[in-house]
A and B are shown apart, each in its own frame.
Chain A
Amino acid sequence: MLLSNLPALQVVVPLVSAPICLLLRRPGHAWACALTVSWAVLVMAVLLLRQVALEGTVSYPLGAWATPWGIEYRIDMLAALVILVIAIIGAVVMPYARRSVMQELDDEHIGAFYTCYLLCLTGLLGIVVTGDAFNLFVFLEISSLSSYVLISLGRDRRALTAAFQYLVMGTIGATFILIGVGLMYMMTGTLNMADLAQRLPAVDDTRTVRVAFAFVTVGVSIKLALFPLHIWLPNAYIYAPSVVSIFLAATATKVGVYVLLRLFFTVFGVQFSFDDMHVGDIIMWLAIAAVLTGSLVAIFQDNLKRMLAYSSVAQIGYIVLGIALATGAGVSAGIIYLFNHALIKGALFMALGGIMLRLGSVELRDLHGLLRQMPWTVAAIIAGGLSLIGVPLTAGFISKWYLVAAALEGGLWPLAFIVLASSLLTVIYVWRIVEATCFRAAGDERPGVREAPLSMLLPTWLLIALNLYIGVDAEVLTGLADTAAAALVGEALP
């Protein structure tokens, strides 16, 4: 029974545990609940990936209603991979969360915090597994509303304004998606994505469908913080509690990318999206702008969280660059990049959370000579930074390698050049961290500052280890990504 209902349970388990978490009054109990659920979600994600790898796409009719009348859960390789990313990050961040949350939040908010975390997890997973365009909107709102709350729980009052700005932009994005879905429905009479894919070609020369496409694309671009719609992102990441920065940076924008892939390749089809609408050209320019401006701005930041946030803007650019190529190799590179970047950014933000716990600041000038006092944390930042640059034997190298290869395959050598050039920019801002933490003498004494607790160090290093492992042996990941990409690009071919 459990296995046959796995697709539903993947979302229902965190959904049900959220209200339970609220009922558990004690902060410790709420944390234990969130931890157990996160691990259960990881187990289910692995089982689901295995099922998809063995049997192909899994479909699950909710309420047992046949499609397109009922809502369908549909999990292909891409969905299974993205679920795995979310599940890994959730499972790693929860053991880490206890200390960090205890220090950064008031006791009375901790129950609500874990409840919102579970709701956010539910929303993100729900977006990925669903095969229904409107159901996607509903779960998008669950994840968005809970992220607004999570961000607003940050200590600084600017967390409130960051959450408000995100709420306004996020709601505009969601409303754009709603308009787009409405127009799609208007022209086809269906909301099921597979059914839409079948029915849209008959009407895809209408102006209504083109506008629908434009609206969902813009709406999703806000969610995934594609340049120039990224302005909500930096403040949201900076002023949120550390655990929220980790979780959102590693998962939320990735899910946005997933939705983009789903729309371009599954719902509208390669031909319409890229040949008729030329979306590839548009997002390629935006992605290049994102890569360059994100990296450039990151260089000049003195707050490490802000630096990493702008770095995220750039990294999202790389991922979108792969998608913009619209080839099997390009999309595969995008998916590999998405996976690896979640691991890298997760690890980096985790290390920052450790520093935040001990130092209460992540300003570069406060970090001078930190290597002596927090060697493992600083080492994690350096290892993560190397992966971010794309040094061989790290996951970052694999993603950039495949991206450059895909660009060259498409004959776009200037693109490969841009990737390399912006990697140099990454070297600069990573070097700034190295210089401050390793080579500058501490200006004033920091008595009592010591290594981050083991409960935070271990999860951080677990992600770093995964990074290094993928850097050495990426075969499984690239194999799965190739399968996913082939299905996406091939699916739409007549």
Chain B
Amino acid sequence: MSTLLGHYNYWIVIVLMMTGFYTVIARPNLVKKIIGLFIFQTSVFILFISMAKVEGGTAPIIEEGYSLYSNPLPHVLILTAIVVGLATTALGLALVVRIQEAYGTTNEDDIHVQDETD
């Protein structure tokens, strides 16, 4: 029981991560793939932030009257990772736009067909 209580957070996060991962590898639409990556990454962020939480702690901004703070380091890492994620999303979508212009489609299967008939 204690395992269940201690880990349910992580388990749900894993399900979320896999939802994103599945969208990336199983969906042929390129926009959907980028969305999948976004969900995958955001869920990994939740994993990191979950491990930073201290029961009964508060946000790591030092103030009179508080002594227990959550761990600031994962927060910092994830701030960085969010920005990296935005960079990836932006670049990925820019490629999607260009692919649409060059192929007239954003469906992976259709692109394969076009490439093979070239």
Contacts and interface: CB of A to CB of B under 8 A. Distances in A.
> A interface, by DSSP: helix, strand, loop or mixed?
helix
A178 B42 CA distance: 12
B81 A152 contact: no
B21 interface: yes
Interface string B1-26: 00000000000000001000100110
A191 to B, nearest CB: 8
Interface in B52-84: 73-74, 77, 80-81, 84
B115 A164 contact: no
A105 interface: no
B99 A167 contact: no
A182 interface: yes
A182 B47 CA distance: 8
B84 A175 contact: no
A135 to B, nearest CB: 10
A149 interface: yes
Contacts of A168: 24, 33, 37, 92
B102 A141 contact: no
A148 interface: yes
B99 A164 contact: yes
20 contacts: A134-B77, A137-B81, A138-B84, A148-B95, A152-B98, A157-B99, A158-B115, A160-B99, A161-B99, A161-B103, A164-B95, A167-B91, A167-B95, A168-B33, A172-B37, A175-B37, A179-B47, A182-B44, A185-B51, A185-B74
Interface of A: 134, 137-138, 141, 145, 148-149, 152, 157-158, 160-161, 163-164, 167-168, 171-172, 175, 178-179, 182, 185-186, 191
Interface of B: 17, 21, 24-25, 30, 33, 37, 40-41, 44, 47-48, 51, 73-74, 77, 80-81, 84, 87-88, 91-92, 95-96, 98-99, 102-103, 111, 115
Given A145-B88, A160-B95, 17 more contacts: A148-B95, A158-B115, A160-B98, A163-B95, A164-B30, A167-B92, A168-B24, A168-B92, A171-B37, A171-B41, A172-B40, A175-B44, A178-B81, A182-B47, A182-B48, A185-B73, A186-B51
